[in-house]
Amino acid sequence: MAELDYALLADYARVDADGTLTAVGAHRAVIAVGALPAQQVLAAAGRLWMGRREPAAHLELSARTPEGDVGTIAAWEVLPGLEQADLPGRVSACFALAVVAPLSSTGPHVLVLSVNGEAAAELPFAVVVEV
């Protein structure tokens, strides 16, 4: 069964062909905008531990905003990765996904990452309007 090792929120993230994860602007906590409504590109990235012959893990990203819960923003699958990080019987599999987040209010927001239908991580950030 796939197990989340870590997840992070970043300005940009990608997974290279060799399985290496690159993240820029990781662990962003505040998004400052000039006015609302606005849009912001955000990346969710991280690493799973998976069995070598395990089926693909189903990942889903949703959100909580001051206005309420937002359903599924994105859904994708992650296959067991290259044996870049290796535990007995398990391999790592990195993932990265960019989304355009519509921002309509200030305050706390959370991207929620689910693995195989179970909430596995919360990636919080705050939205503020610069004056």
Average pLDDT for residues 111-129, to the nearest whole number? 97
Domain containing residue 21: 3-129
122: number of Cβ within 10 Å:
12
Instruction: Kindly report the CATH number assigned to the domain that includes residue 29.
Output: 2.60.40.2560
b/e sequence 3-24, b meaning 16+ C-beta within 10 Å: ebeebbbbeebbbeeebebebe
CA distance 121 to 6: 8
What's the structural domain count of the chain? 1
The pair of three-digit structure tokens given for residue 97, joined into one six-digit string: 């996904």
Residue 87 has a pLDDT of 64
Q: pLDDT tens for residues 16-38?
A: 988 899 999 998 899 999 999 99
Give the three-class secondary structure for 7: strand
CA dihedral 71, 77, 80, 84 (to 10 degrees): -70
Average pLDDT for residues 6-19, to the nearest whole number? 94
Quick one: pLDDT band at residue 53, thresholds 50, 70, 90? confident
| Average pLDDT of every residue of the chain | 92
